[in-house]
């Protein structure tokens, strides 16, 4: 009898206590979705790694390259002709490649003939002098030395230029942008890896090692693969800004924003 009475009172007490506990839980709900979102954000913040892109110019090559890297309406002072720029630093840029790609920039659509010239710094006769295909749009353009069978010799410095021919009969009116390049040999460079697809890590490594042309080539090839990736374009713009070519990167970013819009 006592056992039955005890069970009955336990049941009654349980019923009286349980409702308030349930009410408290309902008054302060914790939606599973909110919790999952908070955890996801915390993981994202914890796993976020910000890498600093820094081009390190090689020591001993601080002398300005021959000629000017920017020609024409320089810094917007002359709107009647496009601005031409070679994507080169103010000193001799380095590469480990035998046949690197060279990049140049036109601020507007080009209708006049365009010529590429490559000359040994110690020589006067051009190694390569070619009329290029007229670009179909403004912006950054590419020249592949492999298309012309040209191979750079390690230790030799070369001057290269892009010329916009305004008047074939008066070549003194040409708009010219010029840079310089030298091929170097590095013991830690594996030629086999140069044929593989470029990566962001390779781009940062080239910039940190002072290999300007290889850094530009790596980031530009990645952009060609994913042209709508604005993060890659911003990285290239940052690289160009470090060698005082901000107008090239800014033009590219604004042009892509207009296309996206």
Comparing 60-64, 150-154, 181-185, 241-245, the range with the smallest average pLDDT is 60-64
Q: Give the residue among 189, 115, 103, 180 at the shortest CA–CA distance from 142.
A: 103
Query: What confidence category does residue 124 fall into, taking pLDDT thresholds of 50, 70 and 90?
Result: confident
Query: What confidence category does residue 258 fall into, taking pLDDT thresholds of 50, 70 and 90?
Result: low
What CATH architecture does domain 70-260 belong to? Sandwich (2.60)
pLDDT tens readout for residues 183-237: 999 876 655 555 566 788 999 999 999 999 999 999 999 999 999 999 999 999 9
pLDDT tens readout for residues 48-98: 334 667 999 988 665 454 458 888 754 444 557 889 999 999 999 999 999
CA distances from 17 to 8, 11, 24, 29 (A): 15, 10, 12, 19
How far apart, in whole angstroms, are the C-alpha atoms of residue 142 and residue 217? 9
Query: What confidence category does residue 163 fall into, taking pLDDT thresholds of 50, 70 and 90?
Result: very high
Report the pLDDT value the prediction gives residue 66, as an integer from 0 to 100: 44
Q: Domain extents for the chain?
A: 70-260
For the sheet containing 175-183, what is the strand order? 93-95, 175-183, 157-164, 114-120, 128-132
Provide the 8-state DSSP code for 164: E
Asked if residues 165 and 58 have their Cβ atoms less than 8 Å apart, the reply is no
pLDDT tens readout for residues 20-52: 333 323 333 334 344 334 433 433 443 333 466
In the predicted model, what is the mean pLDDT of residues 107-132? Answer: 94
Report the pLDDT value the prediction gives residue 220, as an integer from 0 to 100: 96
In the predicted model, what is the mean pLDDT of residues 148-154? Answer: 96
């Amino acid at each position: 009898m006592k056992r039955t009475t005890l069970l009955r009172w336990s049941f009654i007490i349980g019923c009286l206590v349980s409702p308030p506990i349930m009410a408290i839980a309902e008054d302060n709900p914790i939606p599973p979705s909110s919790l999952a979102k908070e955890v996801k954000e915390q993981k994202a913040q914890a796993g976020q790694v910000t890498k600093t892109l820094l081009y390190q110019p090689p020591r001993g090559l601080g002398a300005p390259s021959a000629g000017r890297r920017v020609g024409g309406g320089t810094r917007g002072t002359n709107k009647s002709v496009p601005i031409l720029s070679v994507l080169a630093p103010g000193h001799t840029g380095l590469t480990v490649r035998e046949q690197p790609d060279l990049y140049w920039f036109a601020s507007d659509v080009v209708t006049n003939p365009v010529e590429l010239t490559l000359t040994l710094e110690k020589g006067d006769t051009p190694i390569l002098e070619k009329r290029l295909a007229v670009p179909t749009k403004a912006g950054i353009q590419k020249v592949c030395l492999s298309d012309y069978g040209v191979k750079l010799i390690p230790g030799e410095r070369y001057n290269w230029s892009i010329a916009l021919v305004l008047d074939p009969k008066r070549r003194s009116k040409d708009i010219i942008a010029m840079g310089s390049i030298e091929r170097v040999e590095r013991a830690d460079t594996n030629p086999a890896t140069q044929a593989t697809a470029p990566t962001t890590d390779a781009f940062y490594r080239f910039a940190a090692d002072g290999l300007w042309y290889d850094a530009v080539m790596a980031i530009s090839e990645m952009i060609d693969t994913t042209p709508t990736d604005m993060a890659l374009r911003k990285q290239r713009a940052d690289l160009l800004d470090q060698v005082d070519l901000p107008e090239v990167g800014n033009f590219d970013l604004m042009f892509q924003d207009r296309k996206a819009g």
